[in-house]
Amino acid sequence: MIRRAPWTIGVDITPGALGLVHEIECTSCLDRSDADEERTPPEDWALNHTGRHTDHRSYRAIVTSFIRVTPAPGNPLYEEAL
């Protein structure tokens, strides 16, 4: 057990880590686009959704970012994280 050790937290830049993930949710019916690393597909989904349901005009943008906690210098696990 590590009682006290320094750690850092920040955007996950490890190989294979996802960048931002975008989704859009209709606030009228709570239907939601697929998640995508690009903004355009969820925005296209919202435009098409309003086209099918002309009274659904309000949406929630959901943007997810991924972070990672990493041992900092002075942490006994630091060498393992390199």
User: In 10 A of CB 26, how many CB atoms?
Assistant: 19
> What's the CA gap between 74 and 78, in Å, rounded?
7
Residue 21 reports pLDDT greater than 90: yes
> What's the CA gap between 33 and 49, in Å, rounded?
9
Q: How confident is the model at residue 79 (pLDDT cuts 50, 70, 90)?
A: confident
Kindly state the average pLDDT of the residues 29-48.
Answer: 98
- What pTM was estimated for this model as a whole? 0.78
Kindly state the average pLDDT of the residues 39-57.
Answer: 98
Residue 81 reports pLDDT greater than 70: no
> What's the CA gap between 2 and 82, in Å, rounded?
19
> What's the CA gap between 26 and 30, in Å, rounded?
5
Predicted pLDDT at 25: 98
